[in-house]
Amino acid sequence: MNRYLPICSYVTGKALMKTFLMILFGAIFIWMIVMTAHVQAQKSLLLSPSEFSWQTSPWACATLFDAYFGFVTFFVWVCFRERALWAKALWFILIMAFGNIAMSGYVLLQLFRLRTDQPASVILVRSDRSRIAPHSR
């Protein structure tokens, strides 16, 4: 048995996980942009305030609260990762304005910044510019 096989499996597993996450968050990013554009073409959000009324649609309100609490939860992680106040402020605005589009974009950006030898789990911890590939600085 080849003694390097476990190392090869580990490296292959890291690459597969990064690829899987890039496909997953890329699909979410594209789906949300297409869906948002399609719905906006059907009916403007600005012309839809009654659809988010507690009296006429309590489930729409509950779903909206659920989504925004999820956005805040994700933003707390972004604050943990990002060191610069301007980056935190920018991502807060993007996440609150664009929701899952911004969130999937953030994850994709972090995945593409990884060096090829880094596992996807690196994006879960606080950013350290010494660990990010030189071409992404």
High-pLDDT (> 70) share of the chain, %: 82
Per-residue model confidence as pLDDT tens digits over 73-126 = 999 999 999 999 999 999 999 999 999 999 999 999 999 999 888 889 898 888
Residue-wise DSSP of 5-44: HHHHHHHHHHHHHHHHHHHHHHHHHHHHHHHHHHHHHHS-
Give the span between the Cα atoms of 71 and 6, in whole angstroms.
38
Task: Give the amino acid at 98.
Answer: F
**What domain count does the chain have?**
1
d(C-alpha 59, C-alpha 130), whole Å = 46
**At residue 47, what is the residue type?**
L
For residue 10, give its domain range: 5-136
pTM: 0.76
Measured between alpha carbons, how far is 59 from 98 in angstroms, rounded to an integer? 21
Tokens representing residue 111 in the block: 């995945």
Centre a 10 Å sphere on the Cβ of residue 93 and count the other Cβ atoms it contains: 11
